[in-house]
Amino acid sequence: MVSKRAAVVADIRADAWYRFVIEIDELLATGKYTWAEPTLSGIRQVVECQGRVTANQRRAVKNIEAGRWIRRRW
């Protein structure tokens, strides 16, 4: 019999937002994206707190991964 806690953990691992958080962790672990570490960490934190990931967050991480970073003036 599977405990309730194990079932919840298994469910979380299947969620898109959780896989996205893992993807960000893997990028940070490479050491290649230290220049974008604050941004990646911030995106990770928001996604983890909200339990969802947006298209803009995905796009930002893909741009960082590709080495494209545009600083916008607000």
* pLDDT, tens only, 32-66: 999 999 999 999 999 999 999 999 999 999 999 99
Is the pLDDT at 69 greater than 80? The verdict is no
| Structure-token pair, residue 15 | 């969620």
pLDDT band at 74 (very low <50, low <70, confident <90, very high): very low
Query: What residue ranges do the domains of the chain occupy?
Result: 4-65
Structure tokens at 19: 């896989």
Confidence band for 27, pLDDT divided at 50, 70 and 90: very high
Residue where the block lists tokens 């741009």: 63
Query: The whole model's pTM is what?
Result: 0.76
